[in-house]
Amino acid sequence: MLLAYNTNGFAHHDPAEAIALLAEIGYRGVGLTIDHGLLDPRQSPSALKRELKKVRKVLDKHGMRSVVETGARFLMDPRRKHEPTLMSAEPAGRKMRDAFLRHAIDVAAELESDCVSLWSGVLHEPIDDAAAFARLSSELLEVCRYAEGRGVLLGFEPEPGMFIDTLARFSQLLIRLDHPSLRLTIDAGHLHCQGETPIAARLRHWAKRLVNVHLEDMRAGVHEHLMFGEGEMDFPPIFAALSEINYQGLVQVELSRHSHMAPEAARRAWEFLSAIMPPAGPVGEK
């Protein structure tokens, strides 16, 4: 496993400079959140090609692995956070999200990223579970097929407040859609927040599907990403479980509300986690 940091915590930095700074601190991977200023799908194909080349060059220069993250808050709609999604009532909205996810998959293929991390979205209308699961399964199947064609894995993240909010709900999704490209992103803080504990046991249970890990401190019942040491979580058992299952992916620090102090936050997180994290293997090893 390699320690990484999500660019959603470097919102005020040039992405290439953020990657270089993270490498300087000691991180060996990065979560690339597609957003304003980073691999924006609305730019021209030629501009995107140039940016991809630039990002690939800086990743290679610093020996950094990557995951493509799709959690930008207001990229697609300046008024509604994370909207539209695969759960949107309007077919046009779902089509827009599908196009965005295909863009993320194309980016991941070009950068040879570990996976594309995604989630369900919020269900805003009063329909029953059967209809909602049918909608999500149908939309997600098309995304899975596209990812498979590009040789890209998907790390599906249960997210508090969304239709698929827990690992238990993710299990229900798998009953309806168990595609070979559909893997799992686990945010350890979300598990603590929602009482899906002990976290180490959950990691062991999902070892074969796990492709991406997010990490931050958190308190029970409160979905707020905190600096390490400011919440309630016990991290050594988490790393022990990841080591036990021979997890080879990125462990991404996700402090999206710390961009105003990004260099300091990244250093503090590194100092805290590197003291308890098992030694990493050779650079580039998966």
**Residue-wise pLDDT tens digits, 123-173:** 999 999 999 999 999 999 999 999 999 999 999 999 999 999 999 999 999
**Residue-wise pLDDT tens digits, 80-91:** 999 999 999 999
What is the per-residue pLDDT for 284? Answer: 46
Where helices occur in 74-187 by DSSP H, the ranges are 91-111, 129-150, 167-176
Q: Tokens standing for 9? A: 């915590």
Residue 269 CA to residue 239 CA, distance in Å, equals 15
What is the per-residue pLDDT for 282? Answer: 52
What is the per-residue pLDDT for 278? Answer: 82
Phi, psi of 196 (to 5 degrees): -90, 75
CA 73 distance to own-chain centroid? 13
Q: Out of 3.40.50.720, 3.40.50.920, 3.40.50.2300, 3.20.20.150, which CATH number does the structure's domain 2-274 have?
A: 3.20.20.150
What is the per-residue pLDDT for 285? Answer: 47
Phi, psi of 154 (to 5 degrees): -110, 130
User: Do 212 and 115 touch, CB atoms closer than 8 A?
Assistant: yes
- Strands 222-226, 217-219: pairing is antiparallel
- Measured in residues, the chain has a length of 286
What is the per-residue pLDDT for 9? Answer: 98
**Residue-wise pLDDT tens digits, 170-185:** 999 999 999 999 999 9
Q: Tokens standing for 93? A: 């909205």
What is the per-residue pLDDT for 279? Answer: 77
Residue stretches of the chain with pLDDT short of 70: 280-286
* CB contact set of 247 (below 8 Å; sequence gap of 6+): 1, 203, 207, 210, 213
What is the per-residue pLDDT for 262? Answer: 98
